[in-house]
Amino acid sequence: MPASFASRVADPGARPVVLDGGLATRLEARGNDLSSHLWSARLLLDDPAEVREAHRDFLAAGAEVITTASYQVSYDGLAAAGLGTADTDRLLRLSVATAREAVEPAVQSADDGPRWVAASVGPYGAALADGSEYRGDYGLSVDQLRAWHRRRLYTLIEAEPDVLAIETIPCRAEAEALLAEVQGSGMPCWLSLTNVADRTRLGEPLAEAFGMAAEVPEVIAVGVNCCAAAGVADTARLAVSASGKPAVVYPNSGEGWNAFARAWDGQRDLDPADAAGWVAAGARIVGGCCRVTPDDIAAIARALA
């Protein structure tokens, strides 16, 4: 029987786990229009087979974990598009099933170990589609954030992914809310914040947010994503020291998202060769986020081989 995802991450003698890269980036490169506020969730609704094939592109590049297209799927967001609660439940389950379809052939043909599905749990700000996941200035309490996340979180758990990817969390309150909801569920997860140096996007000490995960057994790794590649090794060390858990890191390409222009700008500065340094700093789960391509993931996989 293949090792569970949690046991692989916890095994210091095993290779680090390679994540996929930017799903939306790959879907656009394949010729898909993601200009709606639902991003890849719209394509999951209209053409799930195309999402599956984008997943397979990352698997072919060496990714061992496929992240579902559920980041932008929320009850509020789909309601604004005229879809009901049952439709949202269906799409959340479909995101996991589509990723599982992509992974199964890879598992059958892989010579070097299993492949896993991570169900993406994006932040509240992602549903607003206004860039607020990069600010964290929601003005909501921990209890309000818990209530907002609850149904989506447990619908994803019921779809039976291998792990939850709680990702791009910009503030301590939202991290606290999600940790409270996942505690006691028995579902392994990682907690990944988005940061600027040693601060959350809202400006709070990053170590405090990492530290909240220390006593939550479901959390198997903590770290950062959707961030600059520079400084990732330092952040990985901070995550390990603050939480006592392995680190997860998957930075952007270096380009920045302009929420008002709805476009990327800036220069790429991701060097996949740096991944070895991230692992030396304590990262056990390594990949890429926005604008990171299958070619980048293949280079990261080679750097960690």
Give 22-37 pLDDT, tens digit per residue: 999 999 999 988 777 7
Say what percent of the chain tops pLDDT 90.
79
> Are residues 123 and 12 in contact, defined by beta-carbon separation less than 8 angstroms?
no
Give tens-digit pLDDT for 112-147: 689 999 999 999 998 887 888 889 999 999 999 999
Determine which of 80-84, 128-132, 202-206, 292-296 has the lowest per-residue pLDDT on average. Answer: 128-132
Cα 302 to Cα 26, 61, 199, 269, 305, distances in angstroms: 20, 10, 31, 18, 5
Of the pLDDT bands very low, low, confident and very high (cuts 50, 70, 90), residue 77 is confident
Region 88-106: mean pLDDT is 95
Specify the amino acid at residue 224: V
User: CA-CA distances (angstroms) from residue 44 to 41, 59, 110, 178, 275?
Assistant: 5, 18, 26, 24, 31
Reported as a pLDDT band with limits 50, 70 and 90, residue 285 is very high
Cα separations (Å) of 290 from 64, 111, 181, 233, 301? 18, 29, 27, 19, 17
State pTM to two decimals.
Answer: 0.94
Of 52-56, 135-139, 245-249, the one with minimum mean pLDDT is: 135-139
Cα distance between residue 194 and residue 182, in whole Å: 19
Per-residue pLDDT for 172 more than 70?
yes
Beta strands in the chain (DSSP E): 17-18, 65-67, 116-121, 163-169, 189-193, 195-196, 199-200, 219-225, 247-250, 256-258, 263-265, 283-286
